[in-house]
A = this chain, B = another copy of it.
Amino acid sequence: MRRIYSLLLAGLLAGSAAPARAQAPTPPAKADSLNIRRIYDEALLRGQSYDNLRYLCQRIGGRLAGSPQAALAVEWGKLTMEKANCFDKVYLQECQVPHWVRGAKERGQIIGNKGKSIAVAVCALGGSVATPGNKPLRAGVVEVKSLAEFKALPDAAVKGKFIFFNRPFDDRLVEPGQAYGGAGDQRRSGPAEAGRRGAVGALVRSLTAAHDNNPHTGATNYGDTPAKVPGAALSTMAADQLSQLLAADPKLEFELEMSCLLLPDEKSYNVVGEVRGAKYPEQVITVGGHLDSWDLAQGAHDDGTGVVQSIEALRLLKAAGLRPERTVRAVLFMNEENGTRGGTKYAELAQQNHETHLAAIESDGGGFTPRGFNVETTPAVFQKVAAWRPLLAPYLAGQLTAGHAGTDIEPLAATVKPVALFGYDCDSQRYFDLHHSALDTFEQVNKRELELGGASMASLIYLLSKYGL
């Protein structure tokens, strides 16, 4: 995921979170409790999401939009949905996606006194241009802690330099996602701003609270800047090292060499599995995660878990004998990481087809132990949903918080305007340790945590499908 946390904004829309165990206006039916227990039994005893995730991560691996692996992932997604044997139809939605490749060269070093060089861990930011001619680019370094600090520097100080954006996560924040939101502008806009003012490149501290030697990639956006300069992430250890050496020797240089490249757009697809509603087939509930991932690892928590949970949610309903009353679609969105072309296409088609969308659920915050859901809706609908808490709380999923639901379902709000958007909310402490780095592998996912999450999504779908909003 690459979302920007906008809790405060969402809070204004949806009202502040109501008490965690408020009394339900109408007590939930005993049958609902039993049906949700059936969903969890199936998930915890006969779950298929963990094995599906293993295949996606270990046999396909990293799958950036436009890559051959992304094409394989589309095939895999369609086959996996068909084998799940719970959908009335499985189909693809075509979309054009950017095709950025990392290239073979990716190397950084600090050049100190008398040419002494120290190799450091770097990776190209997604979408970055290469160093000129794919050749080593050497320049002095100016360290700043924010875009504002950079903007305040005189032109002479930045021209011809690498701008080193080194603001760390604010560790005081309990939710690392908020720290990500607070530091993320450096990665997203740092290279564009640097190029605009005549710097030769941008070096960005990896967006993580972890102190290790793994650089974390992620999209950077040049916007309308004609002067595109390369942007690279430094591991947090490399960033600290560079900062310390700079303090001792402000004249040191950095040498960066990258051969990344933006190729022409490629054809790709969202993968959609649909279960037709038994009573209200015209009302659609969407559940999804994104199929693409960054290329440095296996895209396990970001967002293999959301993908397999979305398929599993529908399988669980069928296995538990719960035919949805409204139409439910599991959607594996393409290109969340560097374009949201799949999410945009899905929303456009929904509008073109004059569809009515009740709700959309996205899982793109990792596959950790559930807490509940972030909700974007009106206060009145929030209260209605809050009545379901007693059904979800025994499964650790009873916490509803007004907050950002997800990047791929967001475009729906601009077209068919679902009544509510839900983001699967889970334990968040480890997510940014792994996010967009080589550490985001299958082994980091716990089977039960993954299964509890999929079952909580299925339970919410069950309730939405039965009661509406």
Which A residues fall within an 8 A CB radius of B?
Answer: 19-22, 40-41, 44-45, 171-172, 174, 176, 209-210, 369, 394-396, 427, 429-430, 433, 446-449, 452
Q: Are A41 and B172 in contact (CB under 8 A)?
A: yes
Q: Residues of B contacting A21 with CB < 8 Å? A: 19-21
Query: How many angstroms between the C-alpha atoms of A156 and B209 in the bound complex?
Result: 62
Tell me if B452 and A430 are in contact (CB < 8 A).
no
By the criterion CB–CB under 8 Å, are B19 and A427 in contact? no
User: A44-B171, A44-B172, A429-B369 in contact; A448/B209 too (CB < 8 A)?
Assistant: yes
CB within 8 Å for A172 and B395 given contacts A430-B446, A448-B209 = no
Residue in B closest to A209 when the chains form the complex, CB atoms? B448
The answer on a CB contact under 8 Å between A174 and B396 is: yes
- In the assembled complex, the Cα of A395 lies from the Cα of B394 at a distance in Å of 21
Residues of B within 8 A of A209 (CB): 448
Name the contact of A395 in the complex, choosing from B44, B174, B430 (C-beta under 8 A): B174
Q: Enumerate chain B residues within 8 angstroms of A176, measured Cβ to Cβ.
A: 448
State the CA gap A41–B20 with chains docked (Å): 26
| 4 more CB-based (< 8 A) A-B contacts, given A44-B171, A427-B427, A429-B448 | A19-B19, A174-B396, A369-B369, A433-B446
Residue of B nearest to A393 (CB): B20
**Cβ contacts under 8 Å, A452 to chain B:** 174, 429
Nearest B residue (CB) for A40: B172
Q: How far is the CA of A22 from the CA of B44 in the complex (A)?
A: 32
In the docked arrangement, what's the CA distance between A394 and B172, Å?
12
Interface-centre pick from A433, A447, A452 (highest chain B CB count, 10 A):
A447
25 A-B Cβ contacts within 8 A?
A19-B19, A19-B21, A19-B22, A20-B20, A20-B21, A21-B21, A40-B172, A40-B174, A41-B172, A44-B171, A44-B172, A45-B171, A45-B172, A171-B448, A174-B396, A174-B452, A176-B448, A209-B448, A369-B369, A369-B427, A369-B429, A429-B446, A429-B452, A430-B446, A433-B446
